[in-house]
């Protein structure tokens, strides 16, 4: 009986000892695992802080470099601002990866690749600056060319103005010479014109036999017969001379059947155009009397008719005749 109790006590003691050892082992293992987790979390936090610090420093450096690359060119500034925006988006994405703690190695890889991204940005900026420099040089060349062209245009304009002034002076001289020549021609023509005078003026009608008969009746008259005294002029050689007759109606209009125009000179020796009624060619060889017949082919009306004779553009004789 006593032996059994003793054996039972030993068994209980062994059981309790084993239980205590098991519990102690479990507690030791649990503590080890807990400390392991704590260490891992501490390491993870340390890695997060390291990556965040590295990310911030790298991004700040990139932003500073991009800001320094800007200048007054708006296109370059717009491109740099777009690059900075892309970097900010990349930073936000990588920061999310770091906070999630899912793959810090991938986050580290993304941070390392920011350097490659920045290298690409540098090339873009350099290319843009080279293009801007080329365009600036081209614009400078164009400005210089425009200045030269403007200067040349001004010079040409001044030359044109001088030419116009010279042309105006020449035209004025030409006009003066022309006027002088015209005056001289007028004087020469007048000096060499035949001196005329009306000897007799009669209204006429044509008989049935074709001979003229005098009449003052405007109803019967078919025209006028004008007898003219030609005087000597030593400046006129023997030749045929053309006389121009101008007959004005009682109403003051030149009687003519067509646009017969002659050039006449006024008192200032200025030429002008004038209508005439008829022209006649006479053989001039000195003092003589010529009779010419004027038949307008139009009905005549009663009244006073002014009669003028011109030679070489000058009025040489004038008279009047009245039909009843």
CATH number of the domain enclosing 310: 2.60.40
* CA dihedral sign, ordered 73, 76, 82, 86: negative
Please give the tally of structural domains in the chain.
Answer: 2
Domain range for 40? 2-133
Closest CA to 233 of 288, 295, 282: 288
208 and 319 inside one domain: yes
Q: Where are the beta strands (DSSP E) in the chain?
A: 196-206, 212-214, 223-230, 239-248, 261-265, 271-275, 278-284, 288-294, 303-311, 314-323
123 and 219 inside one domain: no
User: What confidence score (pLDDT) does residue 186 get?
Assistant: 45
pTM: 0.43
Q: Show which of 117, 133, 149 is a domain's final residue.
A: 133
User: What confidence score (pLDDT) does residue 147 get?
Assistant: 84
Write out pLDDT tens, residues 275-322: 998 988 887 776 778 888 899 888 899 999 999 999 888 888 889 999
Q: Show which of 84, 104, 133 is a domain's final residue.
A: 133
In a domain, 163, yes or no: no
Write out pLDDT tens, residues 109-134: 887 888 888 788 888 888 888 888 88
In a domain, 173, yes or no: no
User: What confidence score (pLDDT) does residue 78 get?
Assistant: 86
In a domain, 164, yes or no: no
In a domain, 120, yes or no: yes
125 and 237 inside one domain: no
Q: Show which of 114, 133, 152 is a domain's final residue.
A: 133
210 and 309 inside one domain: yes
Q: Where are the beta strands (DSSP E) in 168-232?
A: 196-206, 212-214, 223-230
112 and 224 inside one domain: no
In a domain, 270, yes or no: yes
User: What confidence score (pLDDT) does residue 202 get?
Assistant: 92
Write out pLDDT tens, residues 180-210: 555 445 445 445 567 878 888 999 998 888 8
User: What confidence score (pLDDT) does residue 321 get?
Assistant: 93
In a domain, 176, yes or no: no
């Amino acid at each position: 009986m006593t032996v059994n109790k003793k054996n039972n006590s030993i068994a209980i003691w062994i059981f309790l000892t084993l239980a205590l050892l098991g519990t102690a082992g479990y507690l030791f293992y649990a503590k080890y695992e807990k400390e392991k987790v704590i260490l891992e979390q501490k390491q993870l936090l340390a890695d997060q802080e390291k990556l965040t610090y590295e990310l911030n420093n790298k991004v700040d450096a990139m932003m500073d470099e991009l800001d320094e690359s800007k200048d007054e060119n708006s296109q370059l500034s717009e491109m740099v601002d777009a690059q900075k925006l892309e970097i900010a988006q990349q930073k936000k994405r990588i920061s999310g990866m770091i906070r999630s703690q899912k793959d810090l190695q991938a986050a580290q890889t993304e941070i390392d690749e920011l350097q490659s991204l920045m290298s690409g940005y540098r090339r873009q900026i350099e290319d843009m600056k080279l293009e801007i420099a080329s365009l600036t040089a081209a614009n400078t060349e164009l400005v210089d060319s425009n200045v030269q062209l403007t200067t040349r245009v001004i010079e040409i304009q001044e030359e044109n103005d001088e030419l116009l002034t010279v042309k105006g002076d020449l035209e004025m001289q030409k006009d003066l010479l022309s006027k002088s020549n015209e005056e001289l021609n007028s004087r020469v023509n007048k000096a060499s014109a035949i001196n005329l005078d009306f000897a007799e003026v009669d209204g006429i009608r044509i008989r049935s036999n074709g001979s003229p008969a005098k009449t003052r009746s405007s109803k019967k008259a078919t025209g006028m017969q004008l007898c003219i005294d030609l005087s000597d002029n030593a400046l006129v050689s023997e030749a045929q001379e053309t006389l121009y007759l101008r007959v004005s109606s009682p109403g003051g209009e030149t009687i003519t059947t067509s646009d017969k125009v002659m050039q006449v000179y006024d008192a200032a020796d200025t030429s002008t155009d004038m209508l005439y009624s008829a022209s006649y060619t006479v053989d001039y060889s000195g003092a003589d009397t010529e009779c010419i017949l004027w038949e307008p082919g139009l009905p005549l009306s009663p009244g006073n008719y002014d009669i003028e004779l011109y030679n070489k553009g000058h009025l040489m004789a004038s008279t009047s005749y009245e039909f009843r």
